[in-house]
Structure 1
Amino acid sequence: MRIITGSARGAKLKTPKGQDTRPTADRVKESLFNILGRMIEGRTVLDIFAGTGSLGLEALSRGAEGAVLVDKATAGLISENARHTRLADRAEVMGCDVYSALSRLSAAGRSFSLIFCDPPYHRGLWERALEVLDENDVLAYEGILVVEHGADENKYPQLEKLQLVLNKRYGHTTQLSFFQRKDYLAACEEAGE
């Protein structure tokens, strides 16, 4: 696992030993960042279920302003990877439960213009995270939420504020779902964008 491009290009990331983790495949990660393109520059990033920190650190390497990376089990490893990639000055690591982190961030009035949600598949975690994100205004008005989930996980929860805008499949294992705020999409439609 490595940083694909940007200021930390080629830096190898340490992965947890003996834990049931499934890091985002380089092919999927490269496709994700190709879709986002230059939209990453200057964004504030939230990476939940961050694992190694790969997605949040890749965004920082590509010019994101700052990132909060949340993972209770791997916080120390994420901090180590942030230091190794020389991105630690723009990375805030939270070693707590994702759902309590979302509540704390929302209560503090913090919002993010790019959110990555990449939990283990087939455990109901991404669906619950979507519901919590929908209830809290953690996604900024013009923000983008990217959820990585299993290719066979197609039952989206009912959402009040967020709307699916793009879905991409990668083989028989992975899909990426992109969400934006309904109020922002409605304003864009009204403005003819």
Structure 2
Amino acid sequence: MRNKTTKNKAITKSTDGFIRVISGQFRGRKLPVKDVQGLRPTTDRIKETVFNWLMQDTRDANVLDCFAGSGGLGFEALSRFASTALFIELDPSAAKQLAQNIATLKLQNAQVRHTNSLSFLEQKNSNTPFDLVFVDPPFRKNLAQTSCNLLEINNWLSEEALIYLEVESDLNTFKPPSNWLLIKEKKAGQVFCRLYQRQLN
């Protein structure tokens, strides 16, 4: 009986050392996650909600996962046949784990940049813009506003890009760029999940 209980705890504790891909070609795969201070993997429940919102929009999308952390959102998109994914992560151990997980899944269409997300987004993008962007910054560091502004002004977004933003529920100062339309929103505990679509000016 004790062994069975221990096994069940290991399976259900998905945010302690592992993330789980919930659908697509890698469905059920568990990927290791480093125990990094401030790292807050998106829960399976929120991921399911987000990718239900994105059901028609993930396949063939070029994806940018800012503040990637565990990479849970980016890997979920790749599992659902996104065309490419770029993971941005500042913490060296988390970035290394992302690269290892990419290798484990034998992904040829994903890469990691070990750098500060804001520094990265401050550059003007001269490459293919992104169709789907995940912005899930550490809480209470005032990163969401600056990140989204930089995405808009520095050519990181395709014409009708989708931007998923995950912020603390008590953040009431965030204002999206004027041409972003809020199309989905949900509060889950201490988290606000919002999906915006970029509109042509």
Normalised-by-shorter TM-score class: 0.7 to 0.9
Listed one character per residue, the Cα deviations across residues 163-183 of structure 1 (whole Å, up to 9, x for unaligned) are 33332111x311111122231
Query: In the alignment, residue 81 of structure 1 is paired with which amino acid?
Result: N
The alignment covers a number of residue pairs equal to 181
**CA-based RMSD:** 1.7
Among candidates 91, 96, 99, match of residue 115 of structure 2: 96
Q: Is the 8 A contact 2:68 2:136 kept in 1?
A: yes
In structure 2, what is the equivalent of residue 82 of structure 1? 102
SS of residue in 2 equivalent to 1:20: coil
SS of residue in 2 equivalent to 1:13: strand
The CA distance in 2 between the partners of 1:113 and 1:158, in whole Å, is 17
Whether 2:54 is the aligned partner of 1:36: answer yes
SS of residue in 2 equivalent to 1:183: coil
Please state how far the C-alpha of 1:68 moved relative to its aligned partner: 0.6
- Point out the structure with max Rg over C-alpha: 2
Superposition TM-score, scaled by structure 2 size = 0.83
Superposition TM-score, scaled by structure 1 size = 0.87
Please state how far the C-alpha of 1:18 moved relative to its aligned partner: 4.4
* 13-22 or 62-71: bigger deviation: 13-22
Unaligned runs of 5+ in 1: 185-193
Structure 1 runs of 4+ off > 3 angstroms?
Answer: none
The CA distance in 2 between the partners of 1:173 and 1:166, in whole Å, is 17
In structure 1, what is the equivalent of residue 79 of structure 2? 61
Q: Is the 8 A contact 1:52 1:81 kept in 2?
A: no
Please state how far the C-alpha of 1:93 moved relative to its aligned partner: 0.7
